[in-house]
Structure 1
Amino acid sequence: MNIPHNFNSYYTEEQFEEISANFNGKAEYENGEIVLSSNTSIKHNSIKGNILSFLILYFKGSKCRPYDEQKEVIFKNESELHKYKPDIFVMFDNPQKQGESFITPPKIVFEIVSRSTANHDYITKLYVYQKFGVLEYNIVEQNGFIVQYSLVDGQYQITNTFKTGDVYKSSVFSDLSIDLKDIFE
């Protein structure tokens, strides 16, 4: 897809909406910049499906609900605007919406990293999720490990790294756990 050349590298929200509507992949808005990524791999989709299915069963009948990148989350303040489609995220009890997009920060986010998105996931999204109060951010590497960041006094701390043979345990929901073999099978 050709994105119109913009000499100052700033795109309006309206330009982003037009571009994302015509893009066959994932489009996210990064405070004036557009981040495009191609459709995900079979392995990525398998990992996402495994995590999401566990979360759907875990939260069934509760006030929390997991979503995937089919839904957008808007992180906005007076000087910043970020429109993300996290791979998996958990919202709690009637989150605020703007149209079909959520404007309440999720409680938990899982981003499944690929080579093309690693910097965006490890640096930019980490900063934004921390700033806007996402309580737990999990970076899922496709080679079998998860880095868990938890919000402590407004700052992210790595609270755990899970690898093959481990069991993921949420820092937000104490009884939420998933065996990594069930995630990466």
Structure 2
Amino acid sequence: MQLQTEKRYYTPEEYLELEETTEYKNEYLDGEIIPIVGDTTNHNKICLNFCRNFPLNINSQNYDIYMAGVRLWLSEYRFYTYPDVMVIKDNPIYHGKGKSTITNPQIIVEVLSKSTQGYDRGDKFRYYRSLPSFQEYILINQYSYTVEQYLKQSQEQWSIHFYEGENAVLQLASLDWQISLHDLYQRVDFELVED
């Protein structure tokens, strides 16, 4: 006979209190706390390359860029998460007390892993689309020179563009900036096998 354990549900306040003391980051989805899988060195290099190359001023407009440590709140789904990279135009809009949770990214970047790629393309993208400020979603494959770019056309419609090969150039659509996949994947070792 298999014993069933009762699943515990947390309030957002309980989750935030736990996040202050936990060693590892967790997502929160409508009462459930979900551990975040650890990053690989290639994953980290790709995020750093994107952030390091991104300018903070484009056509006299200011942007902020955040990597992994800043939390995102999506009220429609009661969802806290930590996107790999977020780009915000002008000033962040904060949620709750403090300056660690924002609500207004224009661009979200996720580096795909074998264990999270389905989630990043599916439910997580659906949750992100509930944000009015969200215009562009970039998914970067950490195992080959491959990038997917989703562009908001209307509230219900998004287009997709694919970039493949070291010489391809990712051109953002919601702002005037581009990066070559050569620069995006600088010092990434595709032969390195990581869990």
**TM-score, L = length of structure 1:** 0.84
Greater relative contact order (CA < 8 Å, ≥ 6 in sequence): 2
Q: Which amino acid aligns with 2:22?
A: F
The equivalent residue for 2:190 is none
Deviations 1:4-47 (A, max 9, x none): x9724532223322443343333111222222123311111110
User: Could you say what the CA RMSD is over the residues aligned between the two structures, in angstroms?
Assistant: 2.3
C-alpha distance in 1, partners of 2:23/2:116? 16
Aligned residues: 178
Distance 1:76 1:30, change over 3 A: same
Which stretches of structure 1, 4 residues or longer, exceed 6 Å deviation after superposition? none
CA distance in 1, matches of 2:160, 2:42: 26
% identical equivalent positions? 26
Secondary structure, counterpart of 1:97 in structure 2:
coil
Out of 78, 82, 91, the position equivalent to 1:81 is: 78
Q: 5+ unaligned residues in a row in structure 1: which ranges?
A: none
Matches within 5 A, 1:105-124: 105-124=104-123
Q: Which moved more, 1:81-90 or 1:118-127?
A: 118-127
- 1:62-121 Cα offsets, whole Å, 9 max, x none, are 4211111111111114xx311111111111112221321344320001011112322321
Structure with higher Rg: it is: 2
Which runs of no fewer than 5 residues in structure 2 stay unpaired?
187-195
Report the TM-score, using the length of structure 2 for normalisation.
0.80
Structure 1 equivalent of residue 141 of structure 2: 141
Q: Aligned AA for 2:169?
A: V
CA distance in 2, matches of 1:46, 1:89: 16
1:53 maps to 52
- Report whether the alignment pairs 1:152 with 2:149: no
Equivalents in 2 of 1:90, 1:121: separation in Å?
A: 17
Query: What are the equivalent positions in structure 2 for 1:153-172 lying under 5 Å apart?
Result: 153-164=154-165, 165-172=167-174
Number of the residue aligned with 1:16: 15
Aligned pairs for 1:34-49 (under 5 A) are: 34-49=33-48
Mapped contact 2:27–2:35 kept (Cα < 8 A): yes
Q: Which amino acid aligns with 2:149?
A: Q
Name the SS of the counterpart of 1:63 in structure 2.
strand
Comparing 144-153 with 6-15, which one deviates more in the overlay? 6-15
Q: CA 1:33 to 1:119, structure 2 compared with 1: closer, same or farther past 3 Å?
A: farther
